[in-house]
Amino acid sequence: MTKENLRRCNNCAWLLLKDSGYSNYTVEETSVYCLLSLHPLMPGVTSYDEDDAYDQAEKCVSFLPGEPLHLDVDMESGNYELPLWENLALYTDCDMVKTYLLVSSWDKL
């Protein structure tokens, strides 16, 4: 099994990566969130240590294989006039995650 196929947080559709900085060219840090608030080290993990944080998915009952959401500094795929949860829904192709964001009005940043 390759690293890309492992059950790890960086392969979970419920993961949110939020860049901060001056622009997409000057990202200073990336904050990491579990959209379902199931990860004991999230939110607030800014140095995403592969050994500690990625392994949580191995025992997570809500693991959903897929691409994490990645909210860039400039919100190139977003719209500043929309609420956060609607913006985040623009960043995912996963219908389950999109529905959860819109129904729950997720705003935990």
- Per residue in 10-48, pLDDT (tens digit) is 888 988 888 888 888 988 888 888 888 888 776 565 554
- Joined together, the tokens standing for residue 32 give 């990491």
* Average pLDDT across the chain, whole number: 78
Of residues 43 and 1, more confidently modeled: 43
| 68 close to 44: Cβ distance less than 8 angstroms | no
Q: Residue with structure tokens 């219908």? A: 95
Question: Of 11-20, 48-57, 62-71, where does mean pLDDT reach its minimum?
Answer: 48-57
Q: What is the pTM of this model?
A: 0.78
Q: What is the mean pLDDT of residues 79-91?
A: 75
Compute the distance between CA of residue 46 and CA of residue 30 in angstroms, rounded to an integer: 5
Mean pLDDT of 73-78: 75
What pLDDT is stored for residue 1 in this prediction? 44
- 22 vs 105: CA distance, rounded Å: 27
- Quote the pLDDT of residue 79: 65
